[in-house]
Amino acid sequence: MPAKLDPDTRETTLATLQDGGWSVVEGRDALHKTFKFKDFSEAFGWMTRVALLAEKMDHHPEWSNVYKTVEVTLTSHDVGGLSERDVKMAQAIDEMA
Ligand SMILES: C[C@H](O)[C@H](O)[C@H]1CNC2=NC(N)=NC(=O)C2=N1
């Protein structure tokens, strides 16, 4: 089980992710970002690719979809907060969007 992010790595990493549109969820050690696509097909196609990646990484997002919008929350349930896996997942899904 990976550890939570150590405070130094955490600060710099979160700053970079926040520049990219991620925010820390209020009252929770989790990251959130809203993704908007051209239409439902683009949104769902992207979700399908992220789902396959999530299976490969054995790390799964909390998410919801309404038409062309996908809300994504990342956290590591087993450590009760953010871990390196959330950072890797955030970076990977940004690249796929
Ligand atoms: C058994 C399996 O490895 C675990 O349930 C994994 C699956 N995906 C997961 N995803 C996330 N986000 N957090 C977890 O703790 C987690 N645990």
- Domain-located, residue 65: yes
* Number of domains the chain is built from: 1
- Domain-located, residue 83: yes
Atom of ligand 1 nearest to the CA of 62: 12
Measured in angstroms, how far is the CA atom of residue 61 from the centroid of ligand 1?
9
- Domain-located, residue 27: no
What range does the domain containing 47 cover?
1-14+39-97
Per-residue pLDDT reduced to its tens digit, 40-83: 999 999 999 999 999 999 999 999 999 999 999 999 999 999 99
Q: Name the residue with the closest Cα to ligand 1, atom 4.
A: 58
- Domain-located, residue 68: yes
Confidence (pTM): 0.95
What element of type H or E holds 56? helix 40-57
Task: Check which CATH number belongs to the domain holding 72 and give it.
Answer: 3.30.1360.20
User: Any idea what DSSP says for residue 29?
Assistant: S
ipTM: 0.93
Measured in angstroms, how far is the CA atom of residue 54 from the centroid of ligand 1?
9
- Domain-located, residue 22: no
